[in-house]
C-alpha cells in the first residue's frame, strides 16, 4: 500500500489552513493507495457521500472510506473532476471518449446524474459512430 509521494501525489490543492479530513483507500494488495481528501468536496458533489460521511455512519466517524475493488488511478480521475481547485484550472480534463467508461461507474455509484448523463451521451455517440462504420 502506498500513501503517495511528490511524484505521484494528485494535482488537487491541499488547503494549508484546513487539512484534509478524510482518507480514501482504493484498491487492495500491492495496488492499494490511500488519498487524503476533503469530506466537503465529496459531500457537495454527491448525495451518496453526504449520506455515508455523516457522523452517524462508520465512515463519517472514522473519517475513512474504502473502495477495495476499485482502481486507484480511476479514483484520481474521479476526484479531479469534482475538486473545486481543479474545476477552475485550465488543465482539467473533460469527460470524453477516453475516460467516459472509466468515470461512468463512479458517477453512477455516487448518484451524480449530470455527469452520468454526459458519460452516457458520449457512449451513445461512440456506439452510433461504430454502427455507421459497419
Each residue's pLDDT tens digit, 38-68: 999 899 889 999 999 999 999 999 999 999 9
Q: How far is CA 40 from CA 31, 103, 119, 131, in A?
A: 26, 20, 24, 42
Is residue 13 situated within a structural domain?
yes
**Residues 103 and 77 sit within 8 Å (Cβ to Cβ):** yes
Is residue 37 situated within a structural domain?
yes
Number of domains the chain is built from: 1
pLDDT digits 0-9 by tens, 90-118: 445 678 888 888 889 999 998 888 888 99
Does pTM surpass 0.85? Answer: no
> Which domain does 1 fall in, by range?
1-70
Amino acid at each position: 500500500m502506498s500513501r503517495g509521494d511528490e511524484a505521484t501525489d494528485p494535482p488537487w490543492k491541499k488547503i494549508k489552513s484546513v487539512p484534509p479530513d478524510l482518507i480514501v483507500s482504493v484498491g487492495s494488495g500491492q495496488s492499494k493507495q490511500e488519498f487524503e481528501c476533503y469530506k466537503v468536496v465529496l459531500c457537495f458533489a454527491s448525495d451518496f457521500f453526504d449520506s455515508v460521511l455523516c457522523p452517524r455512519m462508520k465512515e463519517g466517524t472514522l473519517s475513512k472510506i474504502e473502495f477495495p475493488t476499485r482502481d486507484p488511478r480511476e479514483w484520481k480521475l474521479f476526484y479531479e473532476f469534482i475538486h473545486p481547485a481543479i474545476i477552475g484550472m485550465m488543465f482539467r480534463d473533460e469527460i470524453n471518449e477516453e475516460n467516459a467508461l472509466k468515470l461512468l461507474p463512479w458517477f453512477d455509484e455516487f448518484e451524480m446524474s449530470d455527469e452520468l448523463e454526459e458519460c452516457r451521451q458520449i457512449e451513445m455517440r461512440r456506439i452510433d459512430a461504430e454502427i455507421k462504420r459497419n
